[in-house]
Amino acid sequence: MRLLHTADWQIGMTRRFLEPEAQARFGAARVEAIRALGRLAQEQGCALVVVSGDVFESNHLTGQTVRRALEALRAVPVPVYLLPGNHDPLDAASVYRSDVFVRECPPHVHVLDTAGAREVAPGLELVAAPWESKHPGRDLVGEAVDLLPEGPAPDGVVRVVVGHGGVDDVDPRWRDAATIRTSSLAAALDEGRVHYVALGDRHSRTAVAGRQDIHYPGAPEPTRETEVDPGQVLVVDVDPGRAAGERVQVTPHAVATWRFLVLEREVDTDADLDALDAELGGLVDKDRTVLFLTLRGTVTVAQHARLEDLRERHRDHLGALVEREQHQQVVVVSDDDVWRELGLGGYLAAAVDEMQAQAQAQTPARAQASGEGLVVGRADDDESARDALSLLYRLSRSRS
């Protein structure tokens, strides 16, 4: 039996750091990933697609968002089984019970809305553990497996558990009562009671406890910068006739079109700025790259102005450029030669002297640039002074 295992589509997801134009493309990519995995399922000869929870970002989405997902599902050429997860539980407001979903869901798309085993094809059972609320307070996957008859599955029957949530192998402190107990799943797998556990919730591709037969596929499109191996789906081959450790073969396939990239760089010299400019300029698929940039170093006012220009220019090409204030450690030091070259006089010269004095009042603990630039109305402090100096320098240069 060959199936395609995916999870955590989270159709309708928004990200605060995305501008409206980028957010629209980001949302469209999540829908297009459905079509991509459908094509892959056909190419790989998969009998079905299993989605292990969080198909939708929430139960409160527009009809347009739901319809676009259903239209993409219509293009998948094999049966698709959707499991309600913690983002889209099967509660009273469930998206799966909405008029739009009920009326327009394609006939080959099925919701795993009942706990326990369900025969979906001759010789194939899905053991479902749907979420009925956001806080079930118990191990739903363990309960679903406990509903099975004792002993190995009948000859010729493949049993696949479809569940959602964290496992104790990843979260050994069991911070949630709904944590899935790995030991009971391993026992059921070793006994042959079930043959593969298809999990969702963790957005990083993960083989639980190092086993091939308990897997998270990760999100098909990335959702945050801390994820490991996102943007994939799993083609899973299950042969119940083999020994316990050889029954399952998992092959990941990349489907993502977006990426989240983290860069940490030192900027102390013009050469450092040249290198940063070249590195950002060399990125591929910039409009689908969310860059988390952390900078450290000491620069002059002129170099800081150049750095601001560099940020603005590359930000326009990227899906997003994210610089979190608490991670930035760029200290700006004044350079008298810079201001003498500009030949400022009168009020402007006096203002520069005042801002330089304020900027030099910084302490090492506060020497962090926010990356947000000058903010009108912010209380005068060393950071405001450095931003003001940088802005004045850039404006003066543009007029000289």
Q: What is the pLDDT of residues 246-255, one digit of tens each?
A: 999 999 999 9
pLDDT tens, position by position, 79-128: 999 999 999 999 999 999 999 999 999 999 999 999 999 999 999 999 99
Q: pLDDT value at position 354? A: 67
Q: pLDDT value at position 368? A: 42
Q: pLDDT value at position 40? A: 98
Q: Is the pLDDT of residue 214 over 70?
A: yes
Strands 232-238 and 2-6: antiparallel
pLDDT tens, position by position, 156-185: 999 999 999 999 988 766 667 889 999 999
More confident residue, 57 or 329: 57
- CA-CA distance, 306 to 246, in Å (whole number)? 58
The residue behind tokens 């499109």 is 221
- CA-CA distance, 383 to 358, in Å (whole number)? 9
More confident residue, 176 or 280: 280
Nearest CA to 120 out of 159, 75, 70, 156 is that of: 159
Q: pLDDT value at position 400? A: 52
pLDDT tens, position by position, 282-322: 999 999 999 999 998 888 888 888 999 999 999 999 999 99
Q: pLDDT value at position 234? A: 98
Q: pLDDT value at position 171? A: 72
More confident residue, 245 or 102: 102
**Mean pLDDT along residues 140-165:** 96
Q: How much is the mean pLDDT over the chain?
A: 88
**Mean pLDDT along residues 265-280:** 95
**Mean pLDDT along residues 272-291:** 97
Q: pLDDT value at position 298? A: 84
Q: What percent of the chain has pLDDT over 90?
A: 74
**Mean pLDDT along residues 351-355:** 64
Q: Is the pLDDT of residue 270 over 90?
A: yes
Q: pLDDT value at position 369? A: 41
Q: pLDDT value at position 366? A: 43
Domain boundaries defined on the chain: 2-254, 259-399
CATH class of 2-254: alpha beta
Q: pLDDT value at position 107? A: 98
Confidence of residue 372 (pLDDT cuts 50, 70, 90): very low
Q: Is the pLDDT of residue 259 over 80?
A: yes
Q: pLDDT value at position 316? A: 96
More confident residue, 238 or 363: 238
Q: pLDDT value at position 380? A: 57
Confidence of residue 352 (pLDDT cuts 50, 70, 90): low
- CA-CA distance, 256 to 6, in Å (whole number)? 12
Q: pLDDT value at position 349? A: 61
**Mean pLDDT along residues 257-277:** 95
